[in-house]
Amino acid sequence: MRILVTAGPTREHIDAVRFLSNGSTGSMGHALAEAAQKLGHTVILVTGPTNLQSPKGVECIPVVSARDMYKEVTGRFQEVDLVIMNAAVCDYRPRRKQPLKMKKQAGDLTLELIPNPDILQALGRRKKHQRLMGFALETHQGLTYARSKLERKNLDWIVLNNPSAMGAERVDATLLTSEGDIQDWKHLTKRQLARQLVITATCP
């Protein structure tokens, strides 16, 4: 299969030196790309800024912002059979990026934020033969929110985890399917989980 994986955080710049982001290291996304390549698939990795080297044998496309990632992923969607959307994409961005470094001033600073495009939702609307796997990082009511996201975005699978997965080597995860099945994995390394997820998503 031809598989597109997204990884890492996005950065939404406030000015020339400051940005909004999150704690994603990109390690899970890179593990997914590596697992898919080792299982014999052709892999495209669209990744936000990380400190990781690209997996061998994988086409790597670096991006910075959510809009950058949206452009690259939607532009390649018709070429692929499966998208595994693991990136931690910022939901919002500043309405205006200041071209120079903002100088400190007395008093409060108000930052106006506007929504970023929803990449998974856009893919869910366009999909034909493609399969879609998303991730839901939740702090509470995880199953409820993950199931809602699965349905709203027309996904085939969604992987539920929590913020402790960021930067951790071993993780717990719950896989929900569009058919209503649930599978739990406990204390797996990210490479082990990645292999399980790729096998699940590529089975006939």
Nearest-angstrom CA–CA distance, 61 and 44: 7
Nearest-angstrom CA–CA distance, 178 and 81: 17
- Catalytic residue list contains 22: yes
- Burial classification of residue 191, based on how many CB atoms lie within 10 Å of its CB (0-12 exposed, 13-18 middle, 19 or more buried): middle
CA-to-CA separations, 161 to 47, 52, 81, 164, in angstroms, rounded? 20, 22, 25, 8
- What letter would DSSP give residue 163? G
Return the axis-axis angle of helices 190-202 and 27-38, rounded to nearest 10°. 50
Please pick, among 22, 116, 161, 162, the residue that the annotation labels catalytic: 22
Active-site positions? 22
